Structure 1
């Protein structure tokens, strides 16, 4: 039996909200990183080198704000700027060795924290969660790709 679209949207929204809350409140280890810095490190890890303007746009930040953040992360050794091989006048923001190590360390902490929580659920629920994760990971990847390809209108707070 097919579910109405509104029910699907509500269930999906709730799953993403619960996952996000669990992640940001309990699983993530930003260390010395602000939330925006952690998101930039994550994006560069997953998507690779980007021009500063593209990074600012992708993160919904002003170019001046992103410039300041990138400079701070450069001073910390997490990011580097390199020449764009496609345009010698431009530069790309890339993860430095310390940035890759930071991402890897935070990923390890997330996995350890998840492993510590799993004994709180039944074996059957753990298996069900693993099976659901196989599908959810694939579909969320598709949604993220689709969202990244869209030209989203600005959110102005009105509905």
Structure 2
């Protein structure tokens, strides 16, 4: 992403504020009106570009959360179900580490998911002494329902963007998926 390459519409969607005053004031991303700041960040753009990306992702995450009607599921609950759906069965300790919660906390969460029919525990076929957690059909449907709801609402937001902005978002999806995949692969110590 090149500094200063966002359109005014994308800047508004991301919640940023352009500085048209010519004063060189610095915005909340650490860049001035000309987009100048910092030095390179490991070849991934300037430091300011990386901060802008992080800020935009944070803002867009908040937008996505608002696009989903409250359903009683915490972010950790949803993240756990998505991990089980995307990567298959996990040990409780792996889930706890991956989601950044304590093992007792994950045990409580999985017990609740079991009561609600969204996940289940079973023996690991590779090691009968080990118990793993897997998503159920109802859990998978819950995730799909949330995604469909968000997609419907997001579609309305995207429709308001110019075609070139929608095309830029579409082009970025493969790269963002690849980047997210690097961070959400199988947890350390698992065979997968």
- Please say whether Structure 1 and Structure 2 have the same fold, judged by a TM-score greater than 0.5: yes
1:44 counterpart residue number: 84
Which whole-Å CA distance do the structure 2 matches of 1:35 and 1:134 have between them?
A: 24
RMSD over aligned Cα atoms: 2.4
Q: Which 10-residue stretch deviates more, 52-61 or 136-145?
A: 136-145
Does 2:44 align with 1:4? no
- Between the two proteins, the alignment pairs up a number of residues equal to 147
Q: TM-score, normalised by structure 2?
A: 0.67
Q: Which runs of 5+ in 2 are unaligned?
A: 4-38, 42-46
Looking at secondary structure, tell me which structure has more helix per residue. 1
Q: Which has the higher contact order (CA 8 A, sep 6+)?
A: 1
Q: Which runs of 5+ in 1 are unaligned?
A: 150-159
Which whole-Å CA distance do the structure 2 matches of 1:53 and 1:144 have between them?
A: 16
Q: Is the 8 A contact 2:123 2:132 kept in 1?
A: yes
Q: Which 10-residue stretch deviates more, 129-138 or 96-105?
A: 129-138
Which whole-Å CA distance do the structure 2 matches of 1:95 and 1:29 have between them?
A: 22
Tell me by how many angstroms 1:138 deviates.
Answer: 2.6
Q: Secondary structure at the match of 2:90?
A: coil
2:103 counterpart residue number: 63
Instruction: Rate the CA distance shift 1:31–1:143 in 2: closer, same or farther, 3 A.
Output: same
Q: Is the 8 A contact 2:87 2:185 kept in 1?
A: no
Does 2:169 align with 1:132? no
Which among 35, 44, 51 is matched to residue 75 of structure 2?
35
Q: Which 10-residue stretch deviates more, 95-104 or 123-132?
A: 123-132
2:28 counterpart residue number: none
Which among 116, 138, 151 is matched to residue 98 of structure 1?
138
Q: Is the 8 A contact 1:51 1:92 kept in 2?
A: yes
1:155 counterpart residue number: none
Which among 38, 60, 82 is matched to residue 19 of structure 1?
60
Which whole-Å CA distance do the structure 2 matches of 1:19 and 1:141 have between them?
A: 18
Q: Is the 8 A contact 1:30 1:106 kept in 2?
A: no
Q: Is the 8 A contact 1:79 1:95 kept in 2?
A: yes
Moved over 4 A (4+): 143-146
Instruction: Rate the CA distance shift 1:88–1:144 in 2: closer, same or farther, 3 A.
Output: closer
